[in-house]
Structure 1
Amino acid sequence: MAKKKVFITYKIPEAGINLLRKNGFSVEVYSKENLITRQELIRNVKDADALISLLTDKIDREIIDKMERCRIIANYAVGFNNIDIDYARNKGIIVTNTPDVLTDSTADLTMTLVLACARRLNEGERIMRQKQFKGWRPELLLGYELKDKIFGIIGMGRIGLAVARRAFAFGCRIIYYSNNKNSEAEKLFNAKKVSLKTLMKSSDIISLHIPLNNKTKTLINSDYLNLMKKTAIFINTARGEVIDENHLISLLKKKKIFAAGFDVYKNEPDINPELVKLDNVVLLPHIGSATVEARSAMAKLAAKNVIAVLTGKKPITPVN
């Protein structure tokens, strides 16, 4: 009897691949450095029993229709907006993601961006690399301390809660906007649930932690962005499409807010060239989960979902 085939659209950490092979599956990994093309994806999914995909792989109706044997699409990400999950469900294909395991890595990176913006680290590092440092000055690169600042979290889920824990340790006061009340955040960190308008107006630091869907696309529009303080810091480690990126750029250009930190972008991997020109931004290449621990755990979770479904068990983290 032929082994069931698992196709992976890009090389993931060996922990996941080895787990699949130890459980008797035939694993094929797209081996080129570039991201898989649509044509190559179609060719490889035809006889696959399971697909492990990246957030950059668009798994739409056409791709799903080519999956003659596939029973599970295991997305190697927390997000799954790259997959038509409703159509997959109609075709009897389970879709899973990798939540929980990248919570701490993303929360750590969020605070990295907050600190980099607050203390103008990119500007300072550039001065040193370009040998422009002329010695200590009383007002050289003045930034802001975090103590007693109002830290606004949009989306108080797993990652939002982890960010709240870190911000609270820095002495910040936590407010949040979320669909549901988070009793744990309120008990542990004295967090206060507020309206989105209140959060945007009151916060010294604003951090986004919401998924991308029809309800959240451009949720943070120009009207909300215009409410921010001139001293505000805006951080996005969620998805580029949940904000009006062009309007945020215009505010940064006019110094209407202090700074912004980005790990995600509207047209990723393309970046708005206007962002690169700005001194008051910190730009990272979508590395929120880029730790050895998180990426290995993601690989193992994706593999465990595949193993469960292909052996007739329930998936661990289904999204559809």
Structure 2
Amino acid sequence: MAKPRLLITRKLRTVVEKRASHDYDVVFNVDDDVFSEEDLILACQGVDAVLPCHSERFDAAVIRAIGPRLKIIANHSVGTDHVDLDAAKAAGIVVTNTPDVLSDATAEIAILCMLGAARRGAEGDALVRSGQWTTWSPSFMVGRQVTGRRFGVLGMGRVGQVTADRARGFGMEIHYHNRRRLPDHLEKRAVYHPTLDGLLAVSDVLSLHCPATAENMNVMNARTLALLPDRAIVVNTARGALIDEIALIAALRSGKLFAAGLDVFQTEPGGNSTLAGMSNVFLLPHIGSATEDTRDAMGFRALDNLDAFFAGQAPGDRVA
């Protein structure tokens, strides 16, 4: 029996590609370039399955153009905002993701972004690297201490919960807003806010962990940023679409916000050149899940979903 033909759109870890090659007739993207829309459509027309990353967009037009052979999109990501789930369902294409396995790694990056922003990490790193560190005094490079502050979590899912646990290690008081309140054993005495506005009013540090759904686009905008305590810190390791970057820049310039720590941006790759030029912004290039252990686990989870599908079973991480 012929192996299912699988397109892997980006370079994955060697152990993941080796396992995929054992069980599937794999088409690799040897150059690891981002597919154009036209090339993505052509590549998907000749396969039974695709294992993409968030860099490949499967909107309704792309899905319509692919044709009937493609049966499953097994994402190498938790987020699925790059796939039109309704269009995939209408076309009979199963869609899966890779939850759970990247929660620890992403939480680590969120804490790194918080500390980098609070303690002026980007500014200090640039000063030392440029050879301009020529003095010291008690007023030099004074940042904000996070110990004992109020840590607000917008989106208390898997990653949000782990990040809250890490923040507890700094003695921070956890507050959160979610679509629904968590049960006691998951809430762990965090303070639930039934409204977003209520959460923002008490968040000395606000960490974003909600999906980039249509209703969450630019959820942090001029109005909502103004609700934060003065000199708050905003952390985003979820999706760039959650923040109106023009409003964020204005809040940072005015002093309303002390700093921001960002791993994601409206435009990726590339980021935002204005934010990159600001000393009170700590930036990373969307590397929340970029650890050896996590990238292996993500690849294996995607393959687990493919294995189940082609064995006639329900994939464990089906989202459409």
- What root-mean-square deviation, in Å, do the aligned CA atoms of Structure 1 and Structure 2 show? 1.5
Q: Deviations over 1:149-204 (max 9, x none)?
A: 0111111111111011010111001111111112346653x210013212212211
Equivalent residues in 2 for 1:35-74, closer than 5 Å: 35-65=34-64, 66-74=66-74
Equivalent residues in 2 for 1:257-272, closer than 5 Å: 257-272=257-272
Equivalent residues in 2 for 1:183-202, closer than 5 Å: 183-184=183-184, 188=188, 190-194=189-193, 195-202=195-202
- What's the offset of the Cα at 1:250? 0.8
- What's the offset of the Cα at 1:16? 2.5
Q: Deviations over 1:254-290 (max 9, x none)?
A: 2221000111111222422211221100111000001
* Identity %, equivalent residues: 37
Q: Give the alignment's TM-score, normalised by structure 2.
A: 0.95
Structure 2 residue identity aligned to 1:239:
R
| Secondary structure, counterpart of 1:151 in structure 2 | strand
Do residues 127 (structure 1) and 153 (structure 2) align? no
Equivalent in the alignment of 2:100: 100
Equivalent in the alignment of 1:225: 225
| Secondary structure, counterpart of 1:153 in structure 2 | strand
List gaps (5 residues or longer) in structure 2. none
Q: Deviations over 1:106-131 (max 9, x none)?
A: 00000001111111111111111122
Contact 1:6/1:26 (8 A) holds in 2: yes
CA distance in 1, matches of 2:84, 2:129: 46
CA distance in 1, matches of 2:209, 2:185: 14
Equivalent residues in 2 for 1:151-300, closer than 5 Å: 151-184=151-184, 188=188, 190-194=189-193, 195-300=195-300
Do residues 149 (structure 1) and 166 (structure 2) align? no
Contact 2:9/2:32 (8 A) holds in 1: no
CA distance in 2, matches of 1:148, 1:77: 33
Structure 1 residue identity aligned to 2:56:
D
- What's the offset of the Cα at 1:91? 1.6
| Secondary structure, counterpart of 2:230 in structure 1 | coil
Contact 2:207/2:236 (8 A) holds in 1: yes
CA distance in 1, matches of 2:311, 2:318: 15
Structure 1 residue identity aligned to 2:60:
R
Question: Which stretch of the first structure deviates more once superposed, 263-272 or 279-288?
Answer: 263-272
Structure 2 residue identity aligned to 1:59:
F
Question: Structure 2 vs 1, CA of residues 51 and 187 (structure 1 numbering), >3 Å: closer, same or farther?
Answer: closer
How many residues align structurally?
318
CA distance in 2, matches of 1:100, 1:158: 7
CA distance in 2, matches of 1:271, 1:20: 32
Q: Deviations over 1:193-239 (max 9, x none)?
A: 01321221221101000001112112222211011222211001111
CA distance in 2, matches of 1:251, 1:185: 36
Structure 1 residue identity aligned to 2:248:
L
CA distance in 2, matches of 1:33, 1:49: 20
Equivalent residues in 2 for 1:11-50, closer than 5 Å: 11-23=11-23, 25-50=24-49
Contact 1:155/1:177 (8 A) holds in 2: yes
Question: Structure 2 vs 1, CA of residues 153 and 182 (structure 1 numbering), >3 Å: closer, same or farther?
Answer: same
Equivalent in the alignment of 1:82: 82
Contact 1:20/1:307 (8 A) holds in 2: no
| Secondary structure, counterpart of 1:282 in structure 2 | strand
CA distance in 2, matches of 1:16, 1:86: 29
| Secondary structure, counterpart of 1:77 in structure 2 | coil
